[in-house]
Structure 1
Amino acid sequence: MSKTEALAKIMLGPVLLMQGAYTRRVTPKLPEAEGERQGMAGSGEILRLLILGDSAAAGVGASTQAEALSGQLVSRLARDYQVRWSLWARSGLDSQALLEMLEQQPPQVFDVVLLSIGVNDVTSTLTVDQWIARQQQLLAVLRGRFAARQIVMSPVPPMHLFPALPQPLRWYLGNRAARFNTRLAQLASREDHCTMLTTDLAPVAGSMARDGFHPGPAIYSLWADDAAQVIARQLGKPASGKL
């Protein structure tokens, strides 16, 4: 825990707890995007893709999976590949719950895994060291149980810009998210066949869901653009045209 975070918890602890409880109570509970969670699209070389994670991976903030991360990413990759894809995601998951969910899945093979996890870890009492240890566990499971050739890790979004969060809670969680991302980037740089996206997921007017907490289709589009470019580059095949 950083000195700044420790001092904030001492001085602002009761305020942060009250604001957290209030925010959970008043923030609208949006559903996960409707639509298929597995399928096949495109033609050409087979690409086995897994999109994995929390509410953002599940498409909260979009009406359908076609508008969410999964649909937008698959549509881009399908220009160059026959994409056989699966979406394993659920609102509320933190890293430990995601590990438990993976253990319930039968072993299978994926060429690429796109991972979205971290917001629910940031809002918990998890330390950054504990967070990184769980990311290392996730990488080991994805490589061992699911033979992942390439792993693409999404950054924790810039929570200091979330409209749903009041100050100073917004500042506090944003500071934690930034520290988690710094360590996640260091981890990704040390791991073979692992890349952390540098996507700027900062919200602009009209780009977030109405809860002020989740992405809207415009942010999912940007996220899918960057992920598709990274995946094509990892697999050694330039993306066709502008994604």
Structure 2
Amino acid sequence: MPTFTAAKVALSPLLIWQGRQVRREAPRLPEATGPRLGLAGMDRHSSAMPRLRVLIVGDSSGAGVGAATQNEALAGRLSQALTRRLKAPIAWQLVARTGWTTADATSALRELSAQGRLPPADVMVTALGVNDTVRQTSPRRWTAHLDALEACARELAGVHQIVATAVPPMHLFPLLPQPLRWVLGRSAQALDAALVQWTADSGTRAYFEMPYDPARDEVRALMASDGFHPGPLLYQRWGEALALQIAADYQPLMRP
């Protein structure tokens, strides 16, 4: 790690310039349109109670950048897949915004709760880490932010279980030039390793690895046109695989 730190220092003028160029020239894709709160698997005539309540907290990938609508993004794909697997209605809420760090997400939950707009949830799914990586948050500081997010979700929404999505492999992002891609990739891997340990430290947390195989999958085919965000195909895979893990792991939380 000292060698990596020294490399970052030596490369810092170039990295700063590349970062500015990426922000200036990268396509700016909007967040997916559509509701951010709903009941999946229920029509207006149904009186069934939701069998599971899911809170999705994230950054731009959680917000669905790279998909046209929330139905094609993580929230829609996950809730639809859960209703099929559980054969029951699912209540869901999405709290996500482009540019958010983990600390930003925690502040957002507190604000929503103060406004009476944070309903109870059983499971919280997180899609965070990219902006923490970009800001060069240390692994120790990031896990402290995760602790704060967890405490907030448990206190204000009654969350029982947390499923934390892996930090994306930024060393594979086509948008990023070298050596910026290498530096952010190494930093993302460090945060992801901390996330693996953080989830292993508690029986009420689970780590979720993205359904992507670099040996078989073409990166660009899974990503949005900007080369930075997930595309519709990856959102579909993400939601389906995540629903499979939640349905298998959290049966005790399911309502009759």
What displacement does 1:136 show? 1.1
Pick from 166, 173, 183 the counterpart of residue 172 of structure 1. 183
CA–CA separation in structure 1 for the residues paired with 2:142 and 2:184 = 14
Q: Structure 1, unaligned stretches of length 5 or more?
A: 238-243
Q: State the superposition RMSD in angstroms.
A: 1.6
Normalising by structure 2, we get a TM-score of 0.88
CA–CA separation in structure 2 for the residues paired with 1:125 and 1:115 = 19
CA–CA separation in structure 1 for the residues paired with 2:220 and 2:54 = 31
Structure 2 residue 75 is matched with structure 1 residue 70: yes
Structure 2 residue 242 is matched with structure 1 residue 227: yes
The count of aligned residue pairs is 236
Normalising by structure 1, we get a TM-score of 0.92
2:45 counterpart residue number: none
CA–CA separation in structure 2 for the residues paired with 1:33 and 1:42 = 21
CA–CA separation in structure 2 for the residues paired with 1:126 and 1:235 = 31
Do 2:171 and 2:184's aligned partners in 1 also have CA atoms closer than 8 Å? Answer: yes
Could you tell me which amino acid in structure 2 is paired with residue 227 of structure 1?
A: L
Q: Structure 2, unaligned stretches of length 5 or more?
A: 43-47
CA–CA separation in structure 1 for the residues paired with 2:225 and 2:37 = 27
What secondary structure is seen at the aligned counterpart in 2 of 1:170? helix
CA–CA separation in structure 1 for the residues paired with 2:179 and 2:18 = 9
CA–CA separation in structure 1 for the residues paired with 2:82 and 2:243 = 6
1:240 counterpart residue number: none
CA–CA separation in structure 2 for the residues paired with 1:40 and 1:108 = 12
Could you tell me which amino acid in structure 2 is paired with residue 192 of structure 1?
A: G
When you count helix as a share of all residues, which structure comes out higher?
A: 2
1:55 counterpart residue number: 60
Do 1:150 and 1:234's aligned partners in 2 also have CA atoms closer than 8 Å? Answer: no
1:241 counterpart residue number: none
What displacement does 1:121 show? 0.6
Could you tell me which amino acid in structure 2 is paired with residue 33 of structure 1?
A: A
What displacement does 1:143 show? 1.4
For 1:204-215, what aligned pairs fall within 5 Å after superposition? 204-215=219-230
CA–CA separation in structure 2 for the residues paired with 1:192 and 1:141 = 18
What displacement does 1:204 show? 2.3
What displacement does 1:64 show? 0.8
CA–CA separation in structure 1 for the residues paired with 2:71 and 2:96 = 15
For 1:83-98, what aligned pairs fall within 5 Å after superposition? 83-98=90-105
Deviates more, 1:151-160 or 1:103-112: 103-112
Structure 2 residue 101 is matched with structure 1 residue 111: no
Query: Percent same amino acid among aligned pairs?
Result: 41
